[in-house]
Structures are given as structure tokens and as C-alpha cells.
């Protein structure tokens, strides 16, 4: 059973400092995926994520339990990544889930198979199409799809992190899903060809 | 356009709720909603795993000694020491200067004006009392007592500054 973040934090603050490793284990790959989405370079993302954990560790006694730990952690990593991109004076690039020269779905970090979210798809054609369609989504939709489905944050966590109303997050994701449904209809073997639901999500 | 039944079923799917009998019937007869469910199921398979032990070890090794273990007493100690020294200083002087008889006067004005005037005169009386206290302290105890009080004020100030900085760092 996965221990609740608040319980782990209480253990750490009570003196069991090794319990922090559980949080690193849980969040490092997801955080690295998110930071890679912002900075575009896997090696830089790895270092920034490590720095984010160090900052969290330094200020652990300042954590406000009214908010989710994941939101705090992702917010710190987000700020670090944005500062890093600004220092580099390069534009923020999006997560590349496209194809390489051999037509294979590209991994986020070739050195780490855990960071290949498409790796567990037996249907490689579907995996490639999914990667291509996610990459082709409007940026505002793409980031939410990454946060929801690749990073694995809940709607509420995304709303907190992005400082958006919960309803807005749900509506944007609904529309993104509708776009993906239309694009992937031929792979999913169902009628996704109706132009419904894309313009108007559930209220 | 999708109808209200489609809306309800898709909302339930998006929220991760289990579909009931009616929704299941709708899904059986609605290819478009089935496709929506299939997209969500496909996306749910994208979750990535946990970090390996090597990665965890790398991050854990990079962590400094837990700074918050010593920070709380370190931040509060100067404040406590400042307050203690200040209290000791006041004790040495024989207590807080009592408000002078002049501060009783504004009562005749009454209301807010009276309260403001009273506060102002209290502040003046306190300042004057403080100056007299420092003079008396210098006469009785010498310069070392004043240095002592200054150190207390500096310690308190340092502590407050440390607390403010900690809060600002945590917000980042």
C-alpha cells in the first residue's frame, strides 16, 4: 500500500529522514517528465529535479499541510525550470513525443526506460500516433494532457499547480480528449469521426 | 451535437466514476461515447513508473544535513535572548516608566480624539522615561549596561530577520 505523503512527511520531520527516499522514488520520474517538458533537455531536467528535491528538503518545516505536497513540489520544480530557461535565454520547448528517423516513438530519456511512457504499448502504431497527436495539441491542452496522463496528477492537483479553476481544467481536458478521440478513431476501432464535444466540454 | 445522455456519460468517464447500468447501455449503443471511453483508457496506460534505487540514492546523497532540525531553535534563540535581556534591563531600571500625570489630561476631550492624544502623550512620556532611564543606567552601571541592551536589541532584530527570510524562502 502506498503511504500517504502527509504521513511520510510527518515521519521525516519526526526524525526518520530515510523516509524521504519514498517521496523521491514516487515523484522523481514524474517530476523529471514535467521538467523535461519545460526545459527540453533530459540531462538538465535531471539536475533541476535534484535541485527541487534539495529545496524541498531544506524547507520541509515550512510546508503548509493545507496544500498537497505534490503541488508544492511541482511548483518549486516549475519555478526552477522557468528560471533555468530564462537564464539560458532560449524559448521554452515542448515535450518531444514524436518519432525518430526509424519511425520509432521517441523516449523522453533514452537512458531510462521508466521514462518511456509509450513503452508498454504493444501496438507501436497506436503509440506513435498517440505521441504525434499529443504533440500536435494546442499548447494549453498539451500541457494539461501531460500533467494528467503522463505525470499522473489529479484534476485538483493540476488546478492548484496551474492556478486555474477546477472547472476550466476539466473542460480543457475534455476538449483535448475529444480532439484525440477524433484523431485516433481508426486505431480505437470506434466511431470517433463525429465533430461533437470538441467545442463544448461538460459544464 | 452530442445529447444530454452523451454529456452525462462522458462527464462520468472523465471524472473516473464507475458507469452504472444506464450508462453501460448508452455506451453499447453509442460508438462515439465508446470511442471517448477508449481514448481515456488508452491515456490511462501512459503512467510512468517509480524511480530506480540508483536515482533515489543520487538524490538522497545530494541532500544537505537536515537544516530544519537546528533552524527552529536557531531562529528563536536570539529573539528569546533579546527579550530576556530587555526584561533584565528594565528590571535593572526599576520597571516601565509610569505614565505621567499629564497623560491623564486628554480624558477631558473624550472619544477618539482623546484616545489619540492620550496615546501620543503616552509615547512621549515613554520616550522621555526611556531617555531618563538610559541616563540613570549610564550613571549607575556605566556604558556596559547600555551595550548589553544594544546587544539584546540586535539579537532580537537578527532573529526577526531570520524568521522573515525563512518565510520568504518557503514561499519560493
Which domains does chain A show, CATH number per domain? 5-88 (1.10.1740.10), 113-188 (1.10.10.10)
Q: Is the pLDDT of residue B52 over 80?
A: yes
Domain map of chain B by residue range? Answer: 4-44, 68-171
What is the ipTM, given to two decimal places?
A: 0.73
Rounded distance, CA A87 to CA B76, Å?
36
Q: Is the pLDDT of residue B117 over 80?
A: no
Distance from CA of B151 to the nearest CA of A (A): 29
Buried b / exposed e along A23-50 (16+ C-beta atoms within 10 A): bbbbbbbbbbbbbbbbbbebebbbebbb
B133 sits in the region (left: phi over 0; alpha: psi -120 to 50; else beta) called alpha
- ∠A148-A154-A160 over CA atoms, to 5°? 100
pTM for this prediction: 0.61
Cα dist from B42 to A100, A187, B46, whole Å = 22, 11, 7
B73–A contact, CB cutoff 8 A: no
Greater pLDDT, A89 or A172: A172
Pick from B36, B166, B167: CB nearest A177? B36
Looking at A103-184, list the stretches that DSSP marks H as alpha helix, in order from N- to C-terminal side: 124-136, 139-145, 155-162, 166-183
Highest mean pLDDT among A77-81, B64-68, B143-147: A77-81
Residues of chain B with C-beta less than 8 angstroms from the C-beta of A57 = 63-64, 66
Rounded distance, CA A31 to CA B84, Å?
47
What is the pLDDT at residue A174? 92
Q: Burial-class residue B12 by CB neighbours within 10 Å (0-12, 13-18, 19+).
A: middle
Contact B32 A59 (CB under 8 A): no
Radius of gyration of chain B (CA): 35
Radius of gyration of chain A (CA): 18
Residues of chain B with C-beta less than 8 angstroms from the C-beta of A20 = 60, 63
DSSP state of A147: I
Quote the distance between the C-alpha of residue B45 and its chain's center.
Answer: 41
Amino acid at each position: 500500500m502506498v503511504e500517504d505523503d502527509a504521513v511520510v512527511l510527518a515521519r521525516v520531520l519526526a526524525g526518520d529522514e530515510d523516509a524521504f527516499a519514498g517521496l523521491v522514488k514516487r515523484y522523481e520520474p514524474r517530476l523529471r517528465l514535467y521538467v523535461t517538458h519545460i526545459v527540453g533537455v533530459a540531462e538538465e531536467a535531471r539536475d533541476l529535479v535534484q535541485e527541487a528535491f534539495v529545496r524541498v528538503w531544506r524547507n520541509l518545516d515550512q510546508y503548509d499541510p493545507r496544500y498537497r505536497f505534490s503541488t508544492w513540489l511541482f511548483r518549486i520544480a516549475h519555478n526552477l525550470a522557468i528560471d533555468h530557461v530564462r537564464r539560458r535565454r532560449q524559448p521554452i520547448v515542448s515535450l518531444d513525443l514524436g518519432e525518430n528517423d526509424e519511425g520509432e516513438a521517441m523516449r523522453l530519456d533514452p537512458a531510462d526506460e521508466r521514462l518511456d511512457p509509450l513503452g508498454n504499448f504493444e501496438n507501436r502504431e497506436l503509440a506513435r500516433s498517440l505521441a504525434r497527436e499529443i504533440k500536435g495539441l494546442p499548447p494549453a491542452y498539451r500541457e494539461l494532457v501531460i500533467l494528467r496522463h503522463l505525470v499522473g496528477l489529479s484534476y485538483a492537483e493540476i488546478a492548484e499547480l496551474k492556478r486555474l479553476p477546477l472547472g476550466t481544467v476539466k473542460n480543457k481536458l475534455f476538449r483535448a480528449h475529444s480532439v484525440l478521440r477524433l484523431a485516433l478513431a481508426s486505431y480505437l476501432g470506434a466511431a470517433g469521426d463525429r465533430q461533437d464535444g470538441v467545442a463544448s466540454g461538460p459544464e | 451535437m452530442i445529447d444530454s445522455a452523451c454529456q452525462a456519460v462522458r462527464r462520468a468517464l472523465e471524472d473516473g466514476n464507475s458507469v452504472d447500468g444506464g450508462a453501460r447501455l448508452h455506451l453499447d449503443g453509442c460508438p462515439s461515447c465508446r470511442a471517448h471511453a477508449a481514448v481515456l483508457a488508452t491515456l490511462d496506460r501512459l503512467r510512468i513508473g517509480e524511480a530506480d534505487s540508483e536515482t533515489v540514492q543520487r538524490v538522497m546523497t545530494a541532500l544537505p544535513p537536515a537544516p530544519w532540525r537546528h533552524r527552529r531553535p536557531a531562529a528563536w534563540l536570539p529573539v528569546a535572548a533579546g527579550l530576556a535581556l530587555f526584561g533584565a534591563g528594565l528590571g535593572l531600571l526599576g520597571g516601565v516608566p509610569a505614565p505621567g500625570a499629564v497623560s491623564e489630561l486628554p480624558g477631558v476631550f473624550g472619544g477618539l480624539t482623546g484616545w489619540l492624544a492620550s496615546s501620543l502623550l503616552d509615547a512621549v512620556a515613554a520616550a522621555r522615561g526611556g531617555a531618563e532611564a538610559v541616563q540613570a543606567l549610564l550613571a549607575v552601571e556605566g556604558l556596559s549596561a547600555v551595550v548589553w541592551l544594544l546587544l539584546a536589541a540586535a539579537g532580537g532584530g537578527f532573529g526577526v530577520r531570520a524568521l522573515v527570510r525563512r518565510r520568504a524562502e518557503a514561499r519560493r
